Amino acid sequence: MSWSKIPPWAFLSLATNGILMLTVILLIVRAESSSSDLQNLSELQGNGSSAIENASGSENPGMEPQLGPRHQWNYEQWLAQLQREAEAIAANPPERLGVLAGDSISLWFPPELLPPQRTWLNQGISGEVSSGLLKRLPLFDNSNPEVIFVMIGINDLIRGVSPSEVLENHRAIVRDLVWVHPNARIVVQSILPHSGSGASWEGRDRLLNIPNDRIGEINRELAAIASEEGVEFLDLYPLFADSQGNLRLDLTTDGLHLNEQGYLVWRTALMVFDPI
């Protein structure tokens, strides 16, 4: 293959994500090798702000979320709550707003671990699929964010939705966000791997029907869609995968969802990708 045939955006994407991956790995290694560094990170976390409280209501939001009244809400109740939160943000807009749009992996991001440079509006719903996210994007139309991070798709695959439909919905989500928020940075995030046979999640058998290399293929298509639509792509997959391409067991509670260390990895990636 001739190098001249490779589009410039491909080189830029590879370079950006390569630098990101190296930086995150170095920061993680440094944090793990020094207890004083971990203490400093904990102090930094306390300076962050969020538009909502941790959905679990737990005093240890980085741990496995505890079931509570809010967790038991039905989908319509979740929609109503997210709309209230978005309306509150729109009525009193912060200087620098970031939005997380996605499923439970975004939903359970501990507020104190989110990058402190921004106020965050979390628009995640547990069990959400790409078609559901597409339909509810208008909930935060008036929020005026500077950046919107989208992560969606794993629940589609668990439910047997075809990769082509997942990709089609992603493109529609991106186009909607670009149209409604022309001044915001739109960032498509890769779908994370799962832990395969190491998973303890109750739907483990369904995870085993989704090879992680298939998720990798979908992520490559998502990167292409992001480029074609003129938005950004954040490839988190390599940061969470072990040598077999599975979600690292030290970063997950059950092989699907993230633990505190997993969110610290994601936090660092966001801070490197979105410096202010």
Q: Which amino acid would we find at residue 250?
A: D
Angle between helices 163-180 and 212-228 in degrees, nearest 10: 30
Query: Which has more confidence, 43 or 263?
Result: 263
Provide the pLDDT for residue 17: 54
Determine the Cα–Cα distance for residues 237 and 239; give it in Å rounded to an integer.
Answer: 5
Mean pLDDT of the chain: 83
Query: Which has more confidence, 192 or 34?
Result: 192
What is the band of 77 on the pLDDT scale with cuts at 50, 70, 90?
very high
Calculate what percentage of the chain has a pLDDT beyond 90: 73
Tokens describing residue 57: 């209501």
Which of these ranges, 6-15, 60-69, 98-107, 163-172, has the smallest mean pLDDT? 60-69
Provide the pLDDT for residue 20: 58
Angle between helices 8-33 and 212-228 in degrees, nearest 10: 130
Provide the pLDDT for residue 24: 54
Residue with tokens 């832990």: 195
208-235 pLDDT per residue, tens: 999 999 999 999 999 999 999 999 999 9
**Could you tell me how far CA 250 lies from the centroid of its own chain?**
18
Do the bridges between strand 185-189 and strand 119-124 make them parallel or antiparallel, or are there none, so unpaired? unpaired
Q: Residue 220: which H helix or E strand, with range?
A: helix 212-228
Query: Which has more confidence, 26 or 87?
Result: 87
Closest CA to 258 of 147, 154, 148: 154
Strand partners, 247: 241
The pTM for the full model equals 0.78
* pLDDT of 169 over the 80 cut: yes
7-47 pLDDT per residue, tens: 454 444 445 455 555 555 555 544 444 333 333 333 333 33
* pLDDT of 197 over the 60 cut: yes
Closest CA to 114 of 68, 61, 190: 61
Provide the pLDDT for residue 71: 55
Residues 110, 111, 115: CA angle, nearest 5 degrees: 105
Query: Which has more confidence, 1 or 227?
Result: 227
Provide the pLDDT for residue 25: 55
Provide the pLDDT for residue 26: 52
Q: What's the full length of the chain, in residues?
A: 276
Provide the pLDDT for residue 70: 42
Q: What are phi and psi of 123, to 5 degrees?
A: -115, 45
Strand partners, 120: 98
Segments in 34-137 forming alpha helices (H): 35-45, 75-91, 104-107, 130-136
Provide the pLDDT for residue 276: 79
What is the band of 268 on the pLDDT scale with cuts at 50, 70, 90?
very high
Provide the pLDDT for residue 205: 95
Determine the Cα–Cα distance for residues 53 and 44; give it in Å rounded to an integer.
Answer: 18
The mean pLDDT value for 194-205 works out to 96
CB 241 within 8 A of CB 212: yes
Strand partners, 232: 187
Angle between helices 8-33 and 260-273 in degrees, nearest 10: 130
